[in-house]
Structure 1
């Protein structure tokens, strides 16, 4: 199955000059969604990226992280925008192209030393994934790699994740 054929291009979204890669057309295709999860699972196993926990980044990362956690017999932990988690959290603020944003994780979400795989739908500039790595360092977890459905290679996100095993399914 060709995943790129299931991803729709939306020109000039969210602003002029941006070509948005829309995964809703992948998500609403049962065979495509199953294939995506199965392929992520196989690539993780092939790369020996078998974690104790999978961290999904809000919000589209949750879509892929939860079934991947099930397939790899790992726990699922959400990383969320501020104010969404009810217990004590660690927080990190990171730079965006225009301004800053923040992410949070429960302080007790992952045992120190546990192996963690970060999952999101898209690797672009790498800022969100790098911030998630920083959160995992705060709770003394061991980040073993990152997995993405799409990687926008021209934006150089990998450079913000040096020496980190990275899996992707589709490159633009």
Structure 2
């Protein structure tokens, strides 16, 4: 008998009460470690943008680096990381933001992209949208034009997709999970 076809969601495990009690952590490391699941995720994330005019793929720290690097490779484009404060060695610009569990600051090198560059933003999870919004603001400060935002997982109850769409962003999601 043939096994049922899996989708991306089937490769993601849930870890209860991490990093805080009451949180259902959606762990994509199980997706990344499975060759078929990882390829499926990369293919599905880049598919809507395959014919688009994109100059660079930007990954948000940290799992967005894994996804974004693979997508940039497949598209034949460069990759730029947006990192948490204090992780980049060169001159940076900063953007504070609020996330599910507190506050943080994101940074990008001040010469990471050229003005007018068309940018695809990639990360594993969209929750409140704070991290992605901070990344978008940094890219716009450098004169970048965000053509899309791609995520493996959306937590719709936290409103991140609506926040990004209200900013005029095209948002591509592979799967949703209810709850936090």
Query: TM over 0.5: same fold?
Result: yes
- Rounded to whole Å, the distance in 2 between the matches of 1:34 and 1:19 is 25
Does the alignment pair 1:136 with 2:134? no
RMSD, matched Cα: 1.3
Contact 2:154 2:161 in 1 (8 A): no
Alignment of 1:92 with 2:83, yes or no, is no
Residue of 35, 39, 59 corresponding to 1:56: 59
Shift of 1:50: 4.1
Contact 1:49/1:117, CA 8 A, preserved across alignment: no
Matched positions, count: 170
CA distance in 2, matches of 1:53, 1:81: 20
Q: Which residue of 2 aligns with 1:9?
A: 14
* Aligned mates of 1:43, 1:170 — CA distance in 2: 15
4+ residue runs over 2 A deviation:
96-99
**Counterparts of 1:102 and 1:71, CA distance in 2:** 30
State the alpha-carbon separation in 2 of the partners of residues 154 and 43 from structure 1.
Answer: 24
SS at match of 1:108: coil
Whole-angstrom distance in 2 between the partners of 1:33 and 1:159? 27
| TM superposition shift of 1:74 | 1.4
| Aligned match for 2:39, one of 29, 34, 39 | 34
5+ residue gaps in structure 2?
1-5
Find the residue that maps to 1:160 and give its secondary structure: helix
Offset, 1:44: 2.3
Tell me which of 77, 82, 89 is aligned to 2:80: 77
